[in-house]
């Protein structure tokens, strides 16, 4: 009864569910940053890798929360609670997850007046979100949001999925093929976790998957491409990874000839892995024709949607014709996003 009265009071003063979940008001966002950062504790259910996919209860919550504001986010796994609080107070993190128990939370809140906590975010561990004090509107909005979520089937599903049964993958491991990713990534100067992220994007670590166009295996290499770069058979997972690495190395050499800054080259290599080097050349030439830098990926991204329009793709700068580039743009973003999760969760 007290909780219902609390919610009713919030509604009267303007903190409606419609305002918070549907209105996307910027005053409800924790910071004005381009990216929200959440520092999560090391409770396994909160954030982990399962069969190559970053997952976890707190990751699901943050995806849902930030979706309303179309805000990118990053999760950092930080075991020490004092370090998490320091990150919050110095602005490195926007939200801190605390799952150490109610007694420990009460002790923490009594000792500090510069932070405040939400209502529990889950039924089992009573995890809370902690933010800086002084923003009552925000903490009330978070409380109302989670209280509404608790009445949904989605909330019940997440409780079962993450807390009521074993769902965890092997800690510290991304896939059964990590040893080969580690071995061959050195040939291209990549972090092995980046190579794993690319492989997951291509095949979800299924070594026998074949695409409609004939690309095969963990790295989705075309047999004729493998032959061209010197790999006779790509049926065995190790050979498939080796072929994918040789293709990446070839793409790196092609792009090193251009005036692309080193920090930008990776994004162009990934886009070429997905769409082909010829398409990337078209994208860069077209970007130049539109007054954008052909050497900066974020500049090239801006013009790619135009390449599916006749008034543009029939022009002199797009030699290979119409290009629906949304898949390639999504490919690059998702590989890099997954790589960031892998870095946060799996030791190098």
* Rounded percentage of the chain residues whose pLDDT exceeds 90: 74
Q: How confident is the model at residue 70 (pLDDT cuts 50, 70, 90)?
A: confident
**Domain ranges in the chain?**
2-163, 178-345
Residue 15 half-sphere exposure, CB side, CA atoms within 13 Å? 19
pLDDT value of position 301: 96
pLDDT of residue 10: 35
Q: What is the pLDDT of residue 4?
A: 38
Query: What pLDDT score was predicted for residue 80?
Result: 94
Burial class (CB in 10 A: 0-12, 13-18, 19+), 283: buried
Q: Which two tokens mark 153? A: 């089937």
Q: How confident is the model at residue 220 (pLDDT cuts 50, 70, 90)?
A: very high
What are the pLDDT digits (tens) for 166-194? 667 677 899 999 999 999 999 999 999 99
3-state secondary structure the chain: CHHHHHHHHHHHCCCCHHHHHHCCCHHHCCCCCCCEEEEECCCHHHCEEECCEEECHHHHHHHHHHHCCCCCEEEEECCCHHHHHHHHHCCCCCEEEECCCHHHHHHHHHHCCCEEECCCCCCCCCCEEEEECCCHHHHHHHHHHHHHHCCCHHHHHHHHHHHCCCCCCCCCCCCCCHHHHHHHHHHHCCCHHHHHHHHHHHHCCCCCCECCCCCECCCCECHHHHHHCCCCCCCCHHHHHHHHHHHHHHHHHHHHCCCCCHHHHHHHHHHHHHHCHHHHHHHHHHHHHCCCCCCCHHHHHHHHHHHHCHHHHCCCCCCCCCCCCHHHHHHHHHHHHHHHHHHHHCCC
pLDDT at 166: 67
Cα separation, 291 vs 45, in Å, equals: 48
What pLDDT sits at residue 312?
A: 80
pLDDT at 40 over 60: yes
Active-site pick, 202, 256, 316, 327? 202
* pLDDT one-digit tens code per residue, 115-165: 999 999 999 999 999 999 988 888 999 999 999 999 999 999 999 999 987
137/299 Cα distance (integer angstroms): 37
Fold type of domain 178-345: Lysozyme (1.10.530)
pLDDT band at 29 (very low <50, low <70, confident <90, very high): low
Burial of residue 339, with CB atoms counted within 10 A of its CB: 0-12 exposed, 13-18 middle, 19 or more buried = buried
CATH class of segment(s) 2-163: alpha beta
- Band of the pLDDT at 28, cuts 50, 70, 90? low
Whether 263 shows a pLDDT value over 70: the answer reads: yes
Contact 218, 184 (CB under 8 A): no
Cβ atoms of residues 8 and 140 within 8 Å: no
What pLDDT is stored for residue 6 in this prediction? Answer: 37
Average pLDDT, the chain: 88
The answer to whether the beta carbons of residues 307 and 318 sit under 8 Å apart is yes
Band (pLDDT 50/70/90 cuts) for residue 317 is: confident
- Does residue 13 have a pLDDT over 60? no
pLDDT at position 68 is 79
Nearest to 272 by CA among 174, 185, 198: 198
Cα-based torsion angle of the residue sequence 197, 203, 205, 206 in order, rounded to the nearest 10 degrees: 180
Look up 202 and say whether it is catalytic: yes
């Amino acid at each position: 009864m007290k909780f219902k009265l609390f919610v009713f009071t919030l509604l009267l003063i303007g903190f409606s569910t419609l305002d918070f979940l549907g209105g996307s008001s910027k005053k409800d966002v924790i910071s004005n940053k381009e990216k929200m950062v959440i520092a999560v504790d090391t409770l396994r259910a909160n954030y982990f890798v399962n069969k190559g996919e970053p997952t976890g209860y707190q990751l699901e919550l943050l995806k849902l929360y930030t979706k309303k504001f179309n805000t990118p986010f990053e999760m950092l796994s930080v075991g020490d609670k004092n370090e998490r609080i320091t990150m919050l107070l110095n602005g490195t993190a926007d939200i801190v997850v605390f799952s150490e128990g109610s007694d420990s939370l009460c002790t923490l809140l009594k000792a500090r007046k510069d932070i405040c906590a939400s209502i529990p975010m889950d039924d089992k561990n009573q995890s809370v979100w902690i933010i800086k004090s002084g923003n009552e509107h925000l903490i009330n909005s978070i409380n109302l949001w989670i209280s509404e979520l608790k009445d949904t089937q989605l909330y019940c599903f997440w409780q079962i999925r993450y807390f009521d049964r074993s769902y965890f993958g092997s800690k510290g491991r991304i896939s059964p093929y990590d040893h080969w990713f580690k071995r061959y990534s050195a040939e291209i100067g990549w972090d092995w976790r980046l190579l794993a992220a690319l492989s997951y994007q291509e095949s979800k670590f299924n070594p026998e998957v074949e695409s409609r166009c004939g690309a095969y295996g963990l790295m989705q290499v075309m047999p004729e491409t493998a032959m061209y770069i010197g790999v006779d058979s790509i049926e065995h997972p190790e050979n498939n990874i080796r072929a994918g690495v040789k293709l990446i190395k070839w793409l790196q050499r092609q792009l090193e000839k251009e005036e692309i800054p080193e920090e930008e080259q990776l994004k162009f290599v990934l886009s070429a892995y997905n769409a082909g080097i010829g398409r990337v050349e078209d994208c860069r030439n077209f970007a130049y024709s539109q007054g954008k830098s052909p050497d900066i990926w974020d500049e090239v991204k801006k013009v790619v949607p135009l390449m599916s329009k006749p008034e543009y793709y029939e022009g002199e700068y797009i030699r290979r014709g119409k290009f629906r580039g949304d898949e390639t743009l999504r490919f690059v973003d998702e590989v890099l996003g997954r790589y960031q999760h892998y870095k946060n969760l799996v030791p190098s």
